[in-house]
Structure 1
Amino acid sequence: MTVAEVAEVASLGIDWGTTSFRAYRLDAGGGVLAARRADAGIRAVDDGDFDGALEQLVGDWLDASPDVPVVMSGMIGSRQGWLEAPYLACPAAVADLAGALVPLDLARGRRVFVAPGLSTRSADGIPDVMRGEEVQILGAVDRIGVDRATLCLPGSHSKWARVEGGRVTGFATYMTGEAFDALRRHTILGSTIDHAAWDDAAFAAGVERSGAAGGLLHHLFGVRASGLFGELDPARSGAFLSGLVIGHELRAAVPEGASAGGDPVVLIGEAGLVRLYAEALARLGIPSREGPSDAAARGLHRLATHATEARGS
């Protein structure tokens, strides 16, 4: 990076999750000047030496920009991370998150800030939490220029969130990705699946099957039985199973009354998963759109901006 580019850096944003580390050099408008990614999530940090890991990963960036705010989000602020940043209850806006940032002093003497996660409760009082996704959500709605939206972040623990008036008003988590992986690797269904194969038509059939009577547990054994009768071969079983569990998630998560005439669901995440969710939603007659790829960076920029303004006031 040139001297001029270093001078443009207005903040450093770090999205530090369970399995991955992403860092961004951001300009005053939230644009990404440079980005780094490493398979250095909190589980990969030896003996809890997060300070040493941070120095190794972005120590040169800290040296080059000694006076800009540094904000970290994700599982680094969990009980298993560097320090616990308590959950902030919904509804919450960027200003609320910025006001709840937890200061952390590095060994080098630099102060950085750790973002809190969000918490909510379902209608029947069951708690739910997210940590890291809230920064992506608020960054996404800011980037696409809306203050209300339904968003889905597919993954191991898929998040469905509602934003109203620029605030995350509530959300729900579905263990779809983790359940799918466990089912195909650690149950009897695994013996019916060719894990290297994929079939788009079988995926669509699984989504359709999720709408039939009987419930998920009954539908799962149907994958096994259909294989025994030669109605679902190993090359199609994995895609069918994926469509089945994603279909059940969508039918539970899509807001009641949603239709083709409503606002599209904003999908944020890895491109392959976003494509599958878009296809599944289309099968249900629900429009969707792909969210911005820089949602996390944009959210971190907004937090850094609010934190800087608060300290200067």
Structure 2
Amino acid sequence: MSALIAVDWGTTSLRAARLGAQGQVEEERSSPQGILAVAAGGFPAALDALCDGWHQDKTLTLMSGMVGSRQGWVEAPYCACPAGFDDVARQLVWLRPGQLAIVPGLSCEHDGVPDVMRGEEVQVFGALRLLGLQDATVVLPGTHSKWVTVRGSRIEGFTTFMTGEFYALLRRQSILSRTLPPDDGPLDASAFDQGVAHALTGHSLLGTAFSVRTLSLFERIAAESLPSYLSGLVIGEELRAQPAFPAAVVVIGSPDLAGRYQRALAPQGVTTHAVGHEATWQGLWALSKTLG
């Protein structure tokens, strides 16, 4: 009998893991059925299909991510920061009491403006468990990158940067797309570093982005290296917006994307620790242990 079925249900993908008595992953499965691909009322069937044979009726199942959004299975109201495991556990939305629940996600405010996350909070808790940390600055790169402050195993607050989305918009829908090659290709480390450096010394992305076109126009960067340069620009802009660099940062993400952040942070004297998607499973496992 499994101890937990952990589910990460995002906008475009669905992942699940069957965890054993010590939190170890016994089996993982995935599906392209993100919440946008599930018809109204189709969430129970989609979950049953992915977890077929896992004895859901006898095993606790915790789900995190956009499954708890207004477009998901059931909306799970956000838990306000600062928040730890106990706070999140108290606000679980139970679809089947004691058996199936959705993690609520977190909210915080900056000068009266709200910010939110869904799913990243579980990854943060999982990374802390994996690394044995109680205090940390955590970065979760992606379409909407998050910088998270953790103190005493509680998430005090976070800030969202639309870094990945701005990259995609500039890459595909701006005048820069006429200059850039059809595919990103492998990372050109030198061009990436140049983009980061230019962003850190510039005034803003509004002022630095046009350099993608002009550097190509004057043949100072090869066309195939421009996507790496643009990646450096947008990540560098994210770093430029930080009030101060911490001594150490935990980066949670895919090896390629986490590696870019590690590379960008290294010249700033920041020590980094990278954690992959296993943080989600460990976070849901740790959360399950607070339920008694």
For normalisation by structure 1, the TM-score amounts to 0.88
Q: Cα gap change, 1:116/1:110 in structure 2, threshold over 3 Å: closer, same or farther?
A: closer
Question: 128-137 vs 290-299, which deviates more?
Answer: 290-299
Name the residue aligned to 2:281.
297
Counterparts of residues 1-313 of structure 1 (less than 5 Å): 7=1, 9-61=2-54, 63=55, 66-105=57-96, 111-122=99-110, 124-194=111-181, 195-197=183-185, 198-253=187-242, 256=244, 258=246, 262=247, 264-291=248-275, 293-307=277-291, 309=292
Q: Cα gap change, 1:192/1:292 in structure 2, threshold over 3 Å: closer, same or farther?
A: closer
Bigger Rg, structure 1 or 2: 1
1:204/1:283 contact within 8 Å kept? no
Q: Cα gap change, 1:43/1:201 in structure 2, threshold over 3 Å: closer, same or farther?
A: same
1:28-83 C-alpha deviation (Å, 9 max, x unpaired):
2211111112221101113441111111111321x3x5322111111000001000
Q: What is the alpha-carbon distance in structure 1 between the residues aligned to residue 84 and residue 74 of structure 2?
A: 22
Q: How large is the RMSD of aligned CA atoms in angstroms?
A: 1.7
Structure 2 residues without counterparts, runs of 5 or longer: none
Q: What is the alpha-carbon distance in structure 2 between the residues aligned to residue 139 and residue 26 of structure 1?
A: 14
Q: Cα gap change, 1:278/1:230 in structure 2, threshold over 3 Å: closer, same or farther?
A: same
Q: What is the alpha-carbon distance in structure 1 between the residues aligned to residue 276 and residue 143 of structure 2?
A: 20
Shift of 1:212: 1.9
1:16/1:75 contact within 8 Å kept? yes
1:76-116 C-alpha deviation (Å, 9 max, x unpaired):
000010000000000000111111101114xxx99411110
- Letter of the 1:207 counterpart: V
Q: What is the alpha-carbon distance in structure 2 between the residues aligned to residue 176 and residue 295 of structure 1?
A: 22
- Letter of the 1:74 counterpart: G
Shift of 1:293: 4.3
For normalisation by structure 2, the TM-score amounts to 0.94
1:152/1:160 contact within 8 Å kept? yes
Give the secondary-structure state (helix, strand or coil) at the position aligned to 1:211: helix
1:192/1:233 contact within 8 Å kept? no
Q: What is the alpha-carbon distance in structure 1 between the residues aligned to residue 14 and residue 178 of structure 2?
A: 34
1:102/1:115 contact within 8 Å kept? yes
Q: What is the alpha-carbon distance in structure 2 between the residues aligned to residue 285 and residue 251 of structure 1?
A: 14
Shift of 1:213: 3.3
Percent identity between matched residues is 45
1:143/1:292 contact within 8 Å kept? no
Q: Cα gap change, 1:289/1:209 in structure 2, threshold over 3 Å: closer, same or farther?
A: same
Structure 1 residues without counterparts, runs of 5 or longer: 1-6
Q: What is the alpha-carbon distance in structure 1 between the residues aligned to residue 198 and residue 245 of structure 2?
A: 21
Q: What is the alpha-carbon distance in structure 1 between the residues aligned to residue 90 and residue 14 of structure 2?
A: 24
Q: What is the alpha-carbon distance in structure 2 between the residues aligned to residue 199 and residue 57 of structure 1?
A: 38
Shift of 1:159: 0.8
Aligned pair count?
290
Give the secondary-structure state (helix, strand or coil) at the position aligned to 1:156: coil
2:76/2:93 contact within 8 Å kept? yes
Q: What is the alpha-carbon distance in structure 2 between the residues aligned to residue 100 and residue 67 of structure 1?
A: 22
Give the secondary-structure state (helix, strand or coil) at the position aligned to 2:261: helix
Shift of 1:297: 0.4
Q: Cα gap change, 1:186/1:73 in structure 2, threshold over 3 Å: closer, same or farther?
A: same
